[in-house]
Structure 1
Amino acid sequence: MTVQINITPKGRMSLPADIRKRLGLMDGGAIYLDETDDGVVLRTAAQAVARAQALAKQYTGGQSDSGVDGFLARRREDSGE
């Protein structure tokens, strides 16, 4: 879906009410803007978190111990501690 959103001379823009409702932004909220080679992508906080989690899973192979604690535990094992 393509929607035209006008920007005021002061740089403000408004998302249409139906889109805000669908995205769960009726009482306000944050939108994250990513500038890409193709243009601009707007994401809600939940969408940004889900994207980050998907990227982390992609780069860690879905290993459950790929966080800091898992890394430190592997380092201790490798060093014989």
Structure 2
Amino acid sequence: MYISSESLIVILFVGLVAGWLAGKIVRGTGFGIIGDIVVGIAGAFVASFLFPKLGIHIGTGLVSEIIYSAIGAIVLLLVVRLVRSGGRF
């Protein structure tokens, strides 16, 4: 998978927004705003790689990228919470 420098900047920006949004949706993780943003950036990378491979297409443009990244960040926050709490929510 090749990521151009423009794509990387968009993924980072979208990851910031998605991390903040995921932190608001998934409460009680205890990561704070910086941790949620970092998880959001990681979720944006996962979503930008995984969703096209799975054939999931919501739309085009920046709004769909934010939705993809927010979904990826929410899933990642839930997985990290599950691992941190020892298998309990």
- TM-score w.r.t. length of structure 2: 0.26
Structure with bigger gyration radius: 1
- TM-score w.r.t. length of structure 1: 0.28
Bigger helix share = 2
Bigger strand share = 1
**RCO higher in 1 or 2 (8 Å CA, sep ≥ 6)?**
2
